[in-house]
């Protein structure tokens, strides 16, 4: 392979591209797609173009329409939208839900193009979704890869465990096609040594283990099957499969091994270290009149609330730290960051000691983007939104380096 022709789906503001290009100039981005369904203005796409150029290979269209234009490539990457995987919504529709359906767009591209490697990112909950049939959605994803001749490994990574400033937990999925050397090596090992080899592979040799070394593992593990002997077809998987997946796993020839692994922890960057040190604009400071709202949002609650049907229930939640501690990594940043709410970060400004929200630059730093990455003409609220959607770039760089090795580049 002369260089790695890479296609980026659900590109957002280009976190995958930024991370992979930092790893090696062997990643050649040949096509990208980004389209925000709920908005007329396409700010993330504009940001992508501002950094990577206006090109007919940068497409701003629903992937359902654009997928027929995807060129041949060696590596497919993307952080596919995840809203429906929320286990916070009790009746989560999982992969069959409106946005979850996007998985099948990836599936169609795999069917048509069979890239040698695939790297996907999603929320940590994807391996447990949906709430009423744990592990079903992820089993369907694994089956889908299996049917196309891929081996798959996954890890749930907390960015702070590997030296970043945010405790952002995401599932990374790496798949390689049976034409690759790493597939064949894994297949040989599993064929001759079985489950023991799958375990050793996860502890030492997997692409994601090279990127994110592990120190130990849990005593318990799960083994399951996703092949035709276990399930006739995909609807059969959807109807019957229930599986418990741990934070690491591998699927080879329809056999799945999964175990909880412990990261070789690297010192996280404390939140205090990424804060802007100079004077920040007054608009970031919490106004006196807004303080009660913040105090309420962050505080403990034990109160009666009404359901839509008029019935009453007790709502309980504990207090969260307010302001944030600065001596450890931050909590996960969401798309609603900086709006008054429980999940937004409020910090004591290093210069004045007064309480304020994070600035867009600080949010970029939490994800490892260069300062001002999203300062490409979008409204400030969208800069927060884009960072809430984005991934932690240095994690992708590490995966890129491990992938280069696996691809023999
Ligand atoms: C989780 S974010 C990925 C962010 C990206 N990894 C980054 O670093 O910015 C998913 C992206 O998919 C886009 N998206 C959602 N539905 C889409 C569709 N039907 N077609 C194309 N893109 C879509 C969203 O606008 C969002 O930017």
Mutate to test the pocket of ligand 1, among 31, 69, 389, 395 (most ligand atoms within 8 A of CB): 389
Q: Report whether residue 62 contacts ligand 1, using a CB cutoff of 6 Å.
A: yes
Q: What is the pLDDT of residue 26?
A: 97
Please indicate, yes or no, whether residues 350 and 281 belong to a single structural domain of this protein: yes
The number of CA neighbours under 13 Å toward the Cβ of 125 is 18
Given the residues 47, 82, 363, 386, select the one marked as catalytic: 82
For residue 209, give Cα distances in angstroms to 174, 183, 331: 11, 15, 24
Please indicate, yes or no, whether residues 291 and 402 belong to a single structural domain of this protein: no
Please indicate, yes or no, whether residues 247 and 378 belong to a single structural domain of this protein: no
Q: Is the peptide bond before 150 cis (omega within 30 degrees of 0)?
A: no
Q: What is the pLDDT of residue 37?
A: 92
Nearest CA to ligand 1 atom 13: 10
| pLDDT mean over 347-371 | 98
CA of 120 to the centre of ligand 1 (A): 12
Q: Report whether residue 391 contacts ligand 1, using a CB cutoff of 6 Å.
A: yes
CA of 12 to the centre of ligand 1 (A): 5
CA of 63 to the centre of ligand 1 (A): 10
Please indicate, yes or no, whether residues 172 and 312 belong to a single structural domain of this protein: no
Give the residue from 115, 86, 88, 85 showing the smallest Cα distance to 102. 85
Where does the pLDDT of residue 88 fall: very low under 50, low under 70, confident under 90, or very high at 90 and above?
very low
Q: What is the pLDDT of residue 122?
A: 95
Q: Of all helices (H) and strands (E), which one includes residue 15?
A: helix 15-23
pTM of the model: 0.95
Percentage of the chain exceeding pLDDT 70: 95
Q: How far is CA 250 from the centre of its chain?
A: 18
**216-229, pLDDT tens digit by residue?**
998 899 999 999 99
Active site residue 182: no
Judge contact between 110 and 37, C-beta under 8 A. Answer: no
Overall domain count for the chain? 2
| Higher-scoring residue by pLDDT: 234, 197 | 197
Please indicate, yes or no, whether residues 364 and 287 belong to a single structural domain of this protein: yes
Please indicate, yes or no, whether residues 46 and 183 belong to a single structural domain of this protein: yes
Q: What is the pLDDT of residue 218?
A: 87
CATH of the domain at 310: 3.90.120.10
Residues 6+ apart with CB under 8 A from 352: none
Nearest CA to ligand 1 atom 12: 10
Residue 392 has pLDDT above 70, yes or no: yes
**249-308, pLDDT tens digit by residue?**
999 999 999 999 999 999 999 999 999 999 999 999 999 999 999 999 999 999 999 999
Residue 69 has pLDDT above 60, yes or no: yes
CATH of the domain at 17: 3.40.50.150
Lowest-pLDDT range of 94-108, 178-192, 333-347, 378-392: 94-108
Q: What is the pLDDT of residue 219?
A: 86
Q: What is the pLDDT of residue 98?
A: 62
Q: Report whether residue 79 contacts ligand 1, using a CB cutoff of 6 Å.
A: yes
* Interstrand relation of 27-33 and 4-9 (parallel, antiparallel or unpaired): parallel
Q: What is the pLDDT of residue 155?
A: 98
Nearest CA to ligand 1 atom 23: 35
Please indicate, yes or no, whether residues 67 and 166 belong to a single structural domain of this protein: yes
For residue 274, give Cα distances in angstroms to 269, 289, 351, 370: 8, 28, 13, 12
Please indicate, yes or no, whether residues 229 and 299 belong to a single structural domain of this protein: no
**Tokens 């949906």 belong to which residue?**
130
What is the Cα–Cα distance from 171 to 94, expressed in whole angstroms?
15
Q: Report whether residue 249 contacts ligand 1, using a CB cutoff of 6 Å.
A: no
CA of 352 to the centre of ligand 1 (A): 37
Phi, psi values for residue 66, rounded to 5°? -75, -15
Q: Report whether residue 12 contacts ligand 1, using a CB cutoff of 6 Å.
A: yes
Q: What is the pLDDT of residue 241?
A: 83
Where does the pLDDT of residue 234 fall: very low under 50, low under 70, confident under 90, or very high at 90 and above?
confident
Angle between helical axes of 102-113 and 136-147 (0-180°, round to 10): 10
Please indicate, yes or no, whether residues 312 and 261 belong to a single structural domain of this protein: no
Average pLDDT over the chain, rounded to whole? Answer: 94
Please indicate, yes or no, whether residues 380 and 237 belong to a single structural domain of this protein: no
- State which ligand 1 atom lies nearest to the alpha carbon of 393: 8
Residue 322 has pLDDT above 50, yes or no: yes
Q: Report whether residue 387 contacts ligand 1, using a CB cutoff of 6 Å.
A: no
**114-162, pLDDT tens digit by residue?**
999 999 999 999 999 888 888 999 999 999 999 999 999 999 999 999 9
Q: Report whether residue 396 contacts ligand 1, using a CB cutoff of 6 Å.
A: no
Domain that residue 74 falls in: 4-267+392-406
Give the residue from 238, 231, 67, 62 showing the smallest Cα distance to 138. 238
Q: What is the pLDDT of residue 94?
A: 66
Q: Report whether residue 77 contacts ligand 1, using a CB cutoff of 6 Å.
A: no
Please indicate, yes or no, whether residues 243 and 331 belong to a single structural domain of this protein: no
CA of 44 to the centre of ligand 1 (A): 9
Please indicate, yes or no, whether residues 142 and 179 belong to a single structural domain of this protein: yes
Q: What is the pLDDT of residue 1?
A: 56
CA of 35 to the centre of ligand 1 (A): 6
- What is the torsion angle, in degrees rounded to the nearest 10, for the CA atoms of residue 186, residue 191, residue 196 and residue 199? 30
């Amino acid at each position: 392979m002369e260089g790695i022709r890479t296609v980026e789906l659900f590109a957002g503001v280009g976190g995958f591209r930024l991370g992979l290009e930092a790893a090696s100039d062997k990643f050649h981005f040949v096509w990208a797609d980004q389209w925000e369904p709920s908005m007329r203005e396409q700010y993330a796409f504009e940001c992508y173009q501002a950094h990577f150029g206006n090109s007919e290979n940068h497409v701003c269209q629903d992937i359902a329409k654009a997928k027929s234009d995807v060129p041949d490539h060696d590596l497919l990457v993307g952080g596919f939208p995840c809203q429906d995987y929320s286990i916070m919504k009790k009746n989560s529709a999982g992969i069959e839900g409106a946005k979850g359906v996007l998985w099948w767009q990836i599936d169609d591209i795999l069917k048509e193009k069979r890239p040698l490697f695939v790297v996907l990112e999603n929320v940590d909950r994807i391996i447990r979704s949906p709430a009423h049939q744990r592990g079903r959605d992820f089993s369907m994803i694994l089956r889908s890869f299996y049917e196309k001749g891929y081996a798959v490994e996954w890890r749930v990574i907390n960015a702070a465990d590997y030296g970043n400033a945010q405790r952002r937990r995401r599932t990374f999925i790496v798949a390689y096609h049976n034409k690759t050397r790493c597939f064949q090596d894994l297949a040989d090992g599993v064929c001759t040594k079985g489950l023991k080899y799958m375990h050793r592979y996860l502890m030492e040799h997997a692409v994601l283990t090279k990127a994110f070394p592990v120190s130990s593992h849990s005593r318990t593990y799960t083994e399951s099957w996703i092949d035709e002997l276990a399930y006739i077809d995909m609807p059969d998987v959807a109807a019957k499969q229930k599986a418990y997946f741990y934070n690491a796993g591998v699927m080879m020839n329809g056999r799945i091994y999964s175990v909880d692994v412990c990261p070789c922890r690297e010192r996280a960057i404390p939140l205090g270290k990424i804060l802007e040190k100079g004077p920040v604009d007054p608009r970031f400071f919490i106004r006196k009149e807004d303080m009660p709202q913040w105090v309420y949002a962050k505080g403990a609650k034990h109160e009666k609330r009404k359901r839509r049907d008029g019935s009453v229930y007790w709502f309980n939640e504990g207090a969260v730290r307010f302001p944030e501690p600065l001596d450890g990594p931050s909590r996960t940043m969401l798309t609603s960051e900086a709006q008054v709410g429980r999940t937004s970060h409020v910090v004591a400004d290093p210069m004045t000691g007064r309480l304020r929200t994070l600035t867009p630059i600080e949010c970029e730093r939490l994800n490892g983007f260069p300062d001002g990455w999203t300062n490409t003409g979008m409204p400030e609220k969208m800069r927060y939104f884009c960072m809430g959607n984005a991934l932690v770039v240095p994690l992708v760089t590490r995966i890129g380096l491990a992938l280069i090795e696996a691809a023999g580049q």
